[in-house]
Amino acid sequence: MSRPTAPAPTSRWFGWGSDDAATPLSPEVLGLLEAGLGIRPRDARPVALTDVRLPGCRLPQDAREALTAAVGAGHVLEDDRSRILHTRGKSTPDLLRLRGGEADDAPDAVVLPADEDEVVAVLRVCVAHRVAVVPYGGGTSVVGGLVARRDGFAGVIALDLSRLNRLLAVDEVSLTATLEPGLRTPQAEELLAAHGLQLGHQPQSYEYATIGGYAATRSSGQASAGYGRFDELVVGLRLATPEGVWELGRAPATAAGPDLRKLVLGSEGAFGILTSVTLRVRRLPEVRSYEGWHFASFDKGCAALRRLAQEGPLPTVLRLSDEAETAVGLARAHDVGGPAAAAGGCLVVVGHEGSAVAVERNRVAAAEVLTASSGRPLGAEPGKDWVRGRYAGPYLRDALLDVGALAETLETAAFWSALPQVYDAVRAALTSSLEATPPLVLCHVSHVYPTGASLYFTVVCAQADDPVAQWREAKRGASDALIAAGGSITHHHAIGTDHRAWLADEVGERGVEVLRAVKARLDPGGVLNPGVLIP
């Protein structure tokens, strides 16, 4: 067993990432905002931490004492900063409220168990004292997944899993590794690299999200075309519940009834707390090669991606920006509006990873398909440019909030035959909902399958008087539209509370009943993330 050599970084309380990596908007971008969207830049930076309105701790004294006995006095935190840092997630509405000084739903305490036994002990305390439990990994939820319902509970704790940060086992014969849930991705990759291995899971939240969070939300990384979604990597897990520990994953495949691992994956802490996850891992690649391609239109780019997904060869990374996203250069979020933005058409980023022989073979074969699909090669620089800025999007969002712009994202997935209708419907709904502050609506495809693909939308506009209500109305209209057009309510952001109203559209009323029954069996007291996932 081993732990990372460096502690995980702490994200800013009012936004994404670290101050060192945050970059203010350039004068050129500020000019584009004013000229193109009518956004008159203003100082909309967050209030001081000391000005955040934080309710008093409502945790009963007997519950506090029992939690302290379970994890130790130094691991039950009630100071203002700890509670604020564990308030909500990182969606734009989450941050707008916090930046304005509103932290009414902060947890009453932050509890940090050291291992599975302490997790179980904490759950038993919370059941006994009617305290709600919000599992907390990297705090990167963008769908309201970290806000528990308080009704009927004596208090709420954030169960911070950052002390569960060990690599527990490596099976180099089977190519699996067992990791604890609190490991941030860079920490996990550091530990695996010592064995010549990697996960290859790289979502935009890579620097801060955790192994447990990925499993609990069925995350999908930017290299999903080559490495698969995170839930496809999971071969085993252990789940701590108020009823005891449940272990799943005896073999790589089995016909012993439904695959109950899939029932846990995506359950968002409503069924239990993941205490370890066993994953498929890969050898570290010898070569990483990225390049750009130009297509005349989004439709032509989608046709090329579909051909690669259905006929191969499938690159490790395959990403298509629509005309608007290409034009403003959001594929290179560190250089929005810069001189590298393509003149018309759409940008496709193609990445290959693996052995030198395999990378060259697949690169040549993919280039043949892309050329035959009317693509034009742009060389390595656009690919390298995208890699440099692949994690910069959330920082750009925060910089936009600082000057009074509204910036947020939403995502969906659909079968290839329905993808054009979903794309048009969401764009139309967002444009209509935000007509008072005409938006810039951008989109990209970053996850492909033989049968369909994801669509990831970014919206930028001027803030209304109540920007939280402004986005909620726009998100509601877009969600209704994408469901009506045949899309999924979410592809990789999960349900949380924001998408809960549409869960029955996705899984049916009978499906919701099944989820309620599972929760009643695993969490009869209902203390696990109440109000999240299940309507």
H, E, C per residue of 25-46? CCHHHHHHHHHHHCCCCCCCCC
Amino acid present at 470: Q
**Per-residue model confidence (pLDDT) at position 9:** 77
State yes or no: cis peptide before 313, omega within 30 of 0.
yes
Block residue for tokens 């272990």? 247
| CA 465/CA 47 separation, integer angstroms | 17
Q: Where are the beta strands (DSSP E) in 463-507?
A: none
> What domains are defined for the chain?
167-283 (3.30.465.10), 287-388 (3.30.70.3450), 396-492 (3.30.300.330)
The predicted structure's pLDDT at residue 154: 97
Residues 101 and 418: beta-carbon distance below 8 Å? no
pTM of the model: 0.95
Looking at residue 343, its pLDDT comes to 60
CA 12, 112, 17: angle at the middle one, nearest 5?
A: 15
Q: DSSP state, 411?
A: E
Alpha helices (H) in 38-115, listed in sequence order? 61-71, 80-85, 92-99
SS3 state at 177? strand
Q: What is the residue whose two structure tokens read 């899971």?
A: 201
Distance between first and last Cα of the chain: 40
| pLDDT for position 330 | 54
Whether 410 and 457 have beta carbons less than 8 Å apart is answered as yes
pLDDT at 341 (0 to 100): 44
**SS3 sequence of 356-390:** HHHHHHHHHHHHHHHHHCCCEEEECHHHHHHHHCC
Q: What is the mean pLDDT of each run of 10 residues along the chain (535 residues)?
A: 80 90 89 90 94 95 98 96 96 97 96 98 98 97 94 97 98 98 97 97 96 98 96 98 96 94 97 98 97 97 98 97 89 46 81 97 98 97 93 93 96 98 98 96 97 98 97 98 98 98 97 98 97 95
d(Cα 82, Cα 90) in Å, to the nearest integer? 16
- The whole-number pLDDT of residue 7 equals 76
